[in-house]
Every structure is written in C-alpha cells, then in structure tokens.
Chain A
Amino acid sequence: MIATAFSLLVPMETEEAQIARGLRRRDPDLLDALIEQYQHRLLRYLLHLTGNRAVAEDLFQETWLRVLEKGHLYDGRNRFVTWLMSIGHNVAIDHLRKRNLSSLDEMKDPEDGAPFEPPASGPSPFDLASAQQQQEKFHDALAQVAPIFREVLVLRFQEQMKLEEIAQLIRIPVSTVKTRIYRGVQALRPALKGGVQ
C-alpha cells in the first residue's frame, strides 16, 4: 500500500528507503499507514512479551510515539518491521525498569490470570471445539514460558523473522537466539504432547 503510493513518485527507491524518508519528515499520512499495516504484528509481539493486554496497548502507543520521535534514526537499510519491533522491545524494557523489575521473567502482571485472549474472530465451528480447547491449553502453557524464550518464539514463528534479525532486534548473539528457541520449544513440550492430533 505504502509502496504503491510512493512508487509513483520515486520509482527507484526501495520501500524501506521511502519509509525512512517519510519518517525523517514526520509525515503523518505515512505514520497512519504504517500503524494500519503493522498494528496486529506489533500488538501481538507486545502482548506475548508482557502477557497483559492493557500494558501491551499502552506500550503499543508508546512505541509509535517513539517511532515518531526517533524516526530520523531509521536509515532504511534493514527491514522496517525489525526496527519497529526493536523499538517495541526497548519500550517494553523501559517499562520493566520503571516498575523496578529485575528481569523479563517478572514482566507478567500477577493480577492478570489470563494473559492471552482467545481469537477475536467469530464463533468457531463445532467440530473445531476440541482443537480450540487444546489450543487454549497450549496458550496457557506458552504464558508460563519465561518471556525471554516466548519473545524469540513469537519473533521466529509469528513474525517469520530470520535468526540474524532476531539477534539484531534483541541485541544478543545468534547462538543465544538458537538456544532460546530450543529451550522455548522444550518448555512447551508437555503441552505439545497433549496437543491437537
């Protein structure tokens, strides 16, 4: 959508370069379009990271405000989504520091019993009820996994990011990303064994 709008003006530029140029200008139309485009991905990431919808929504807004303010720092050489998620990651870390929590593991709100909301789509078919129940079991298990592992699992599976991109985003070595994915999957193993057939 953004690429189409801008390609008419500057056909030789990549989408990332166009976004970088728009962010430097603090173009409100571009920002609106970016929010529309990345809304679900960013919220999903923050929700998995924090385990709390209200906190995730606050951080969602905070992330976009930071995108506006720090937009000139995006050079367009990497994918915008990676940069956006790294801003979201930093915002979440700052939130954690404000709450004086010592690690990402303590990020989950103790008052929030059900960190993951069920799918927002309409009623599921009857024959999928069992599968859905097992999915919920899986999500419960996922909520119990330490956020540092959950984060890499979300980035790898939902955001389809490369290991190098995840490493760059979280600022950890690629080997650590692999270890965290491995441990995350291992932690989910009991839930997977009782998963959907």
Chain B
Amino acid sequence: MTDHDHERAIDLIARQGVEDVSTSDRSWLESHVALCPECAEYAEDFGRTGELLRSVAITASPALVMTTQARLRARALYLQEQRSRLVLIAISFCIGAMSSALSAWLWWRFGGWVAQHVGMPSAIVEPGILLFLLLPAIVIAGLLLAFPRPVFEGALLTGLAREREGEIR
C-alpha cells in the first residue's frame, strides 16, 4: 500500500456523498478501507463528523431577517436615488454644454454684426466679445491655481463636517 493509495482514499472519502464517485472508485475505496485501518478510522470519523455537524440547528431569528430586509430596501432606495441624481447631473451637464456652445456661437455672430456696424475688423471684435464673456471664469480659474487652498474650500469642508456631525447625532 503506497502513500498515493492513502491520498486517493482520503480524496474519495472527502468527495463521497456530495460529488459523483464512479462505481469503480467506490469499490476500490471499499477494498482499500477494508485493508487499511488508518483510512477506515478516518472514513468513520469523517462520517461521524458530518452526522454531528448536520445535527446543529442554528436558525436566524425572524427579527434579524426583517431588520436585514428593511435595511436592504432602504439602501436599495438610496442607491436608486443616487443613480437617478447622477443621471440628472449628466443630463444637466449635456444641456449646459449645448447651451454654452449655442450662446458662444450667437455671441460670435453678434461680434461680427457689431464689427460691421462700428467699422472695426471682425477678427478683433468677435474674439474680444468671447474673451469678455469668459473673463470671470478665467479669473476664478487663475485664482484657484494661484491659491491651491482657497478660503471657500475650508468653509466647504467645515460645512460638510457639520452636516456629518448632525447625521451622527
């Protein structure tokens, strides 16, 4: 009897009952167990362990199940709201981008019209009007780059912290 035989026996014992074990493997195991007291003892202990483990009756209480179901429903609702909020943000962004592009084009045309009536070159007036419109955004972007930790960021964080504190309470 080799180590390989014992290993095969241990493998077949572990698989029996749950997995399909061929008739030839089963008869081999039976003959091996009949000759090998060590494997026979393991097979017996294995069966006994299963028997005793299956006799353990652990049940979840109805309260636990109900609480879990309620928590899950609340969480599912929250996730659904979050998702629909994201969709709204995406739609708003698209509408905003489209209206920005449209208004830029209109201002550009307006610049051309002004240039024509004032008698100035449109190559200066058109970009000039656009630059004037974009100026506030450019200034704010420049300030944010110049001061990486601006005042309003601190205020924002404080507000968020307060909100969180309120949630905890």
Q: Is B23 an interface residue (CB 8 A)?
A: no
- B residues whose Cβ falls under 8 Å from a Cβ of A: 10-11, 14-15, 17-19, 42, 45-46, 48-50, 52-60, 64-65, 67-69, 71-73, 75-76, 79-80
Residue of B nearest to A195 (CB): B48
A44 to chain B: which residues have CB within 8 Å?
56, 58
A60 in complex: contacting residue of B57, B59, B60, CB < 8 Å: B60
Contact-size category for A:
35 or more
B18 in complex: contacting residue of A26, A32, A65, A160, CB < 8 Å: A160
A185 in complex: contacting residue of B17, B19, B42, CB < 8 Å: B42
A158 and B75 CA atoms in complex are apart in Å by: 31
Contact A161 B42 (CB under 8 A): no
A65 and B78 CA atoms in complex are apart in Å by: 12
Given contacts A44-B58, A47-B58, A60-B60, contact A154 B76 (CB under 8 A): no
Q: A32-B72, A65-B75, A163-B14 given; name 18 further pairs at CB < 8 Å.
A: A31-B72, A32-B73, A39-B60, A40-B58, A42-B60, A43-B59, A61-B67, A61-B68, A117-B58, A119-B55, A135-B52, A135-B55, A142-B53, A154-B53, A157-B50, A157-B54, A181-B46, A185-B46
Going nearest first, the 7 A-B pairs with the smallest beta carbon separation are A119-B57, A39-B60, A157-B53, A157-B50, A44-B58, A43-B60, A138-B52
Contact A163 B15 (CB under 8 A): yes
B138 to chain A, nearest CB (A): 41
Q: Is A68 an interface residue (CB 8 A)?
A: yes
Contact A43 B42 (CB under 8 A): no
B64 to chain A: which residues have CB within 8 Å?
39, 43, 57, 60-61
Residue of B nearest to A29 (CB): B73
Contact A26 B59 (CB under 8 A): no
Contact B10 A182 (CB under 8 A): yes
A161 to chain B: which residues have CB within 8 Å?
18
Q: Is A79 an interface residue (CB 8 A)?
A: no
Contact B79 A60 (CB under 8 A): no
A61 and B60 CA atoms in complex are apart in Å by: 11
B69 in complex: contacting residue of A32, A119, A182, CB < 8 Å: A32
A45 and B65 CA atoms in complex are apart in Å by: 16
A31 to chain B: which residues have CB within 8 Å?
69, 72-73, 76
Q: Is A196 an interface residue (CB 8 A)?
A: yes
Contact A189 B10 (CB under 8 A): no
Most chain A CB within a 10 A radius of its CB, from B17, B60, B69: B60
- 7 A-B residue pairs with Cβ-Cβ distance under 8 Å, sorted by A, are A35-B69, A43-B58, A135-B55, A158-B56, A181-B14, A185-B45, A192-B49
B15 to chain A, nearest CB (A): 6
B14 to chain A: which residues have CB within 8 Å?
156, 163, 177-178, 181-182
B49 in complex: contacting residue of A35, A157, A163, A177, CB < 8 Å: A157
A28 in complex: contacting residue of B46, B53, B57, B76, CB < 8 Å: B76
